[in-house]
Amino acid sequence: MLKITIHNEGQAPSFVVEGKLVGQWVNELERCWESVLASEPSWAMVVNVAEVTFIDSEGKELLTRMRRQGARLVSAGCLMNAIVAEIEAEVKKEEQSWVYRP
Amino acid sequence: MGLQTIADANNKLNGFRRAVVLSDDAPAPMNETVELSIDSKLELVGPVESLAKSVSAKLGFDEEDAGWIELAVREAVVNAIKHGNHYLADKRVDVQFLVGQDAMTIHVRDCGEGFDPTRLPDPLDPENLLNPTGRGILWMRTFMDEVEYSAHPDGGCVVRMRKYKRSSKKQI
């Protein structure tokens, strides 16, 4: 089961994702994400994945794409903390490689 | 009836092999649930519509049926925001897609007091034909195979809609 909760209060929309972020449901989350992003472009969007119980490589790739687009990932628990830490490290590394060095 | 020749036996065996291969290629039975919960804001209907269309296409509904499902879900969610939650942003609309092997069931729950669908004006009544609103429930009943309304035990009104795949409509 996958549950997506979209909050659109305050300045930035936020997503709460619960359950299994695997297989075909990854595309559904991406579709929702793109749809909200299209109507409310925001760099400060929060994606709470604290209640994700299982995630596959496609799910991780989607979270990485979201992070690259400026989303802030909120996690809890060993599994999701580790996944989000990996994503943060990967994105940080990419950002550092973009720094202009004359 | 017994097998007469070795050729008969081989034909039978090949048929069996084909059946096994076909069953391996067939899509796995799906019994999954995806839920979406939104604030009562009309601008958030888009993601729900998009999810409805994409889930129904994945289940194997053709483009036409997927379009009808999308419209029915849109009507149900707009009704929930407008009439159930009266646009109060802190009241939520929960949409649940139950994906089965031959049908999709959709629950749309609002936080309203509920209503009696039999007491709504008939949109086909000549007096109501020019009325710009009041056709949502008629559309939902037209587009979907089953539509039911009930009160949720924890409060709010739930509309349950089901659409069968064309190949399984004989089961209705």
| Alpha-carbon gap: A3 to the closest alpha carbon of chain B (Å) | 4
The pTM for the full model equals 0.76
Name the DSSP letter for residue A71: P
* For chain A, domain boundaries: 2-97
CA B169 to chain centre: 14
Tell which residue, B93, B74, B85, has the closest CA to residue B139: B74
pLDDT at site A100: 67
Q: Per-residue DSSP letters for B8-66?
A: HHHHHHHHHHHHHHHHHHSPPP--EEEEEEEES-GGGHHHHHHHHHHHHHHHT--HHHH
> Roughly what angle, to the nearest 10 degrees, separates helices A24-39 and A57-68?
20
Name the residue of chain B whose CA is nearest to A26's CA.
B34
Chain B residues within 8 A of A7 when measuring between CB atoms: 39
pLDDT at site A96: 81
Residue in A1, A6, A31 nearest the CB of B38: A6
| CA pair distance A64, A57, nearest whole angstrom | 10
Name the residue of chain A whose CA is nearest to B39's CA.
A7
| CA pair distance A91, A18, nearest whole angstrom | 23
Name the residue of chain B whose CA is nearest to A18's CA.
B35
* ipTM computed for the complex: 0.80
Contact A2 B37 (CB under 8 A): no
pLDDT in tens, chain B (172 residues): 455 666 665 565 455 444 333 333 334 346 789 999 999 999 889 889 988 988 888 888 988 899 999 999 999 999 999 999 999 988 999 999 998 888 999 999 999 887 777 777 777 777 776 676 667 788 888 899 999 998 888 888 999 999 998 776 544 4
Task: Specify whether domain A2-97 bears CATH 3.30.750.24.
Answer: yes
Mean pLDDT split into 10-residue runs, chain A, 102 residues: 86 88 90 84 84 95 94 94 95 80 65
CATH tag for B29-171 (out of 3.40.710.10, 3.40.50.2000, 3.30.565.10, 3.40.50.11740): 3.30.565.10
Chain B residues within 8 A of A35 when measuring between CB atoms: 46-47, 50
**CA gyration radius for chain B?**
22
The amino acid at residue B133 is T
Residue in B34, B39, B41 nearest the CB of A28: B34
